[in-house]
């Protein structure tokens, strides 16, 4: 006998958890025949009757609904109730079968109603054509190349060309100490290890808690519009000296003046158009930065640093070994050979002296 095992999805947990409405989590194993099990994980946040009283509209689903036999409905109800500890004062409603896109299975919706009339959202299940297996699983579209999910277009880059097998897009805040830590860890180590196999760009995600982070982002982009080298030199400098920019008094005005000076000085070194640079600095147009912030918001970001390695998220200032392992896997996925693994770092010898 073939064993099918799916992990049921608690679809309602997040939708209602913050609303203060009651939530009940049910986790059980349901057996619909010899050696045929699946894992059922249900959360029952209840909405007032009427909000979701219509259930699933079978008219919108493919095929003609077919009512299940009372005997099959009873088997489904008894097994869910007995194996999932559904309270006796809950009623279970099993909807009719409709065509599913999973061969050998039809779709049914199941909902739960408490004694006070509050009803859960219906959950879709699959019932096998022979009536012996009940299943629930989630499907995700993986047809899109994850590398294309976050654009690096128009950003000053380090490392390899746009055609490099691995693209890393980082969301950066120039006043963030954890961003500075990660930046110091990966540069120049990243380029030394991977050379032109990695194309690296930063996008701007200045956090509201950092008063001069927005100005820093605008200033470096003003320079980056004319000099990629100058852009990265200033990025390196600001991350290294971020704690000094406000002076001893941690003044915002002092930090802003220092940022403008750093960018102008680097612009002079790179021989950019000074008038154009100064006009950009004076204008302080944050349009491009706000667009970058909106992109980060759409990705669910609320902190920095965050890197995306060919679309895979790497969040926080973790050791290089963790990041490099992810890059190595991305290279292999692109048919490229990864460099030799990093040698493990030896643990520091224990000291008998207390930490100071």
Q: Tell me: the pLDDT tens digits for 39-76?
A: 444 444 433 333 333 333 333 344 568 888 999 999 98
In eight-state DSSP terms, residue 304 is S
Q: Is the pLDDT of residue 78 over 80?
A: yes
Residue 201 contacts residue 155 (beta carbons within 8 Å): yes
Return d(Cα 23, Cα 92) in angstroms, integer: 16
In eight-state DSSP terms, residue 353 is S
Q: Is the pLDDT of residue 170 over 60?
A: yes
In degrees and rounded to multiples of 5, residue 203 shows phi and psi of: -115, 155
Share the mean pLDDT of the chain: 81
pLDDT, residue 344, reads: 64
Q: Is the pLDDT of residue 85 over 90?
A: no
pLDDT, residue 63, reads: 56
Question: CB-side exposure of 43: number of CA atoms within 13 Å?
Answer: 14
CB atoms within 10 A of CB 10: 18
Among 78-82, 87-91, 188-192, top mean pLDDT goes to 188-192
Q: Tell me: the pLDDT tens digits for 113-139?
A: 988 888 888 888 999 999 999 888 777
- CB neighbour list of residue 346: distance below 8 Å, 6 or more residues apart: none
Q: Which of 14-18, 158-162, 183-187, 323-327 bottoms out in mean pLDDT, i.e. has the lowest? A: 14-18
Among 35-39, 50-54, 283-287, top mean pLDDT goes to 283-287
Entry field: residues in the chain? 356
CB atoms within 10 A of CB 44: 25
Return d(Cα 118, Cα 29) in angstroms, integer: 25
* pTM score of the predicted model: 0.67
Read off the pLDDT of each residue in 6-12 and give the average, rounded to a whole number.
Answer: 31
Return d(Cα 167, Cα 327) in angstroms, integer: 9
In degrees and rounded to multiples of 5, residue 118 shows phi and psi of: -75, 135
In eight-state DSSP terms, residue 155 is -
Read off the pLDDT of each residue in 200-220 and give the average, rounded to a whole number.
Answer: 98
Q: Is the pLDDT of residue 244 over 90?
A: yes
Read off the pLDDT of each residue in 291-301 and give the average, rounded to a whole number.
Answer: 96
- CB neighbour list of residue 73: distance below 8 Å, 6 or more residues apart: 94
What DSSP line would sit under 6-68, residue for residue?
-BPP-TTHHHHHTTT----EEEEEEE-STT-EEEEEEE---B-TTTSTT---GGGSSS--BPP
* Superfamily designation of domain 146-333: Glutaredoxin (3.40.30.10)
Among 99-113, 126-140, 223-237, 308-322, top mean pLDDT goes to 223-237
pLDDT, residue 163, reads: 95
Catalogue the E-assigned strands of the chain.
25-31, 37-43, 91-94, 98-99, 105-113, 123-128, 134-135, 157-159, 166-172, 198-204, 306-309, 312-315
Q: Is the pLDDT of residue 189 over 50?
A: yes
Q: Is the pLDDT of residue 318 over 70?
A: yes
Read off the pLDDT of each residue in 272-287 and give the average, rounded to a whole number.
Answer: 98
What DSSP line would sit under 283-299, residue for residue?
H---HHHHHHHHHHHHT
Residues above pLDDT 70, as percent of the chain: 78
Q: Tell me: the pLDDT tens digits for 320-352?
A: 999 999 999 999 999 999 998 776 655 545 444
| Ranges of each domain in the chain | 13-135, 146-333
In eight-state DSSP terms, residue 329 is H
pLDDT, residue 239, reads: 98
């Amino acid at each position: 006998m073939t064993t099918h095992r799916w992990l049921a999805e608690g679809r309602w947990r997040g939708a209602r958890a913050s609303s203060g409405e009651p939530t009940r989590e049910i986790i059980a194993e349901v057996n619909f025949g010899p050696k045929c099990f699946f894992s059922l994980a249900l959360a029952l946040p209840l909405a007032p009757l009427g909000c979701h009283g219509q259930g699933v509209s079978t008219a919108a689903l493919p095929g003609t609904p077919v009512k299940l036999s009372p005997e099959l409905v009873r088997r489904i109800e008894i097994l869910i109730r007995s194996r999932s500890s559904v309270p006796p004062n809950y009623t279970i409603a099993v909807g009719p079968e409709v065509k599913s896109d999973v061969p050998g299975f039809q779709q049914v919706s199941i909902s739960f109603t408490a004694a006070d009339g509050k009803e859960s959202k219906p959950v879709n299940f699959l019932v096998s054509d022979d009536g012996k297996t009940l299943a629930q699983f989630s499907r995700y579209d993986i047809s899109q190349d994850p590398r294309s999910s976050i654009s690096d277009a128009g950003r000053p880059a380090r490392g390899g060309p746009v055609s490099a097998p691995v693209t890393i897009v980082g969301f950066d805040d120039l006043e963030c100490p954890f961003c500075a830590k990660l930046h110091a860890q990966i540069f120049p180590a990243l380029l030394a290890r991977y050379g032109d196999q990695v194309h690296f760009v930063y996008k701007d995600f200045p956090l509201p808690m950092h008063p001069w982070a927005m100005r820093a982002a605008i200033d470096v982009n003003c320079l980056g519009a004319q000099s990629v080298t100058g852009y990265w030199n200033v990025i390196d400098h600001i991350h290294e000296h971020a704690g000094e920019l406000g002076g001893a008094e941690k003044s915002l005005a002092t930090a802003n003046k220092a940022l403008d000076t750093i960018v102008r000085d680097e612009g002079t070194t790179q021989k950019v158009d000074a008038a154009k640079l100064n006009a950009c600095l004076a204008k302080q147009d944050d349009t491009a930065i706000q667009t970058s912030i909106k992109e980060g918001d759409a990705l669910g970001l609320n902190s920095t640093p965050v890197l995306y390695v060919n679309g895979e998220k790497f969040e926080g200032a973790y050791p290089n070994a963790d990041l490099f392992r992810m890059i190595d896997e991305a290279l292999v996925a692109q048919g490229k050979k990864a460099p030799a693994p990093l040698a493990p770092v030896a643990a520091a010898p224990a000291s008998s002296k207390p930490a100071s």
